[in-house]
Amino acid sequence: MDGYGLKLISGWFDGRCCERDVAAEMDAITPHLQLLKDMGSSHVVYADTSRGRHGAIWDPISKRPALSPDEWPGYGRRLTELAERMADFGVRMAFHHHMGTIVETDQEVDLLMKHTGPAVGLLFDTGHSLFAGGDPLALLKRNVSRVVHVHCKDARRAMLEKARQGDMSFMAAVMEGIFTVPGDGCIDYLPILRTLADNGYSGWLVVEAEQDPRKAHPLTYAEMGFRNLKAVTEEAGLTVIS
């Protein structure tokens, strides 16, 4: 594919570093890393889906797996070792904080960064931070030096409030339209992108919106999100190569 100038941005992997030792986790992810490496990807989207995350995305958002305070140091050491092995392989870790997982809230992202070494890069996701009750801009400012990949997902305020007040499941909220593309929701992307620009970010900005395609035509929203994000990105002082 490289001969045609095509590359794969990245690819999701359901990690289990909380449940497996590092050697077993590396064995499990190696075929995926090889595919990404062959396709020219620099990072893998790694989310730790231990302790029943797949079930949790259908459960009320108040019921999801979590780490106890005394588990964080050991978990951070294992994750760092795994990330170092990935880097040696040639595809680095972009850790995705995600609803329904053991790293969901802004506070848990901070703990992740505290207990891991620099090999653990952060995938910063605006929509997941907001849905988890956080402040995307504040989260970014605290951890911008670790950001290696960015998912730009906007949110609809009324649906966000309904989902959190009603303790909806992640998937129910998605299907009802909690997320949308940049510029179509309530997130102010200009200060976020300026923070990235001011800190020398050079990497992917991925337009995202997990929506019901029967309610939101995928191509229409993809084009809208690209136009909106490109305009704000250039205003923020980042050079866009599309």
Write down the architecture of domain 2-236 according to CATH.
Answer: Alpha-Beta Barrel (3.20)
Has residue 1 got a pLDDT over 60? Answer: no
Question: What's the mean pLDDT in 61-90?
Answer: 97
Q: What's residue 57's pLDDT? A: 79
Q: What's residue 180's pLDDT? A: 98
pLDDT digits (tens, 9 = 90+) for 33-50: 999 999 999 999 999 999
Q: What's residue 53's pLDDT? A: 64
Residues 204-208: contacts with CB under 8 Å, at least 24 apart: 204/9, 204/10, 204/149, 204/150, 205/150, 205/152, 205/229, 205/233, 205/238, 206/9, 206/149, 206/150, 206/151, 206/152, 207/152, 207/181, 207/182, 208/125, 208/127, 208/151, 208/152, 208/153, 208/179, 208/181
CA distances from 80 to 27, 36, 43, 72, 189 (A): 16, 20, 15, 12, 30
DSSP 8-state class, residue 57 = T
Ordered by start, the domain boundaries in the chain are 2-236
Distance CA 212, CA 179 (A): 10
What's the pTM? 0.95
Distance CA 21, CA 146 (A): 24
Q: What's residue 28's pLDDT? A: 98
Q: For residue 115, how far is the Cα from the chain centroid?
A: 18
Question: What's the mean pLDDT in 113-119?
Answer: 98
**φ and ψ at 206, to 5 degrees?**
-100, 120
Helices (H), the chain: 22-38, 53-56, 72-89, 106-115, 126-131, 136-143, 157-165, 170-176, 189-198, 218-236
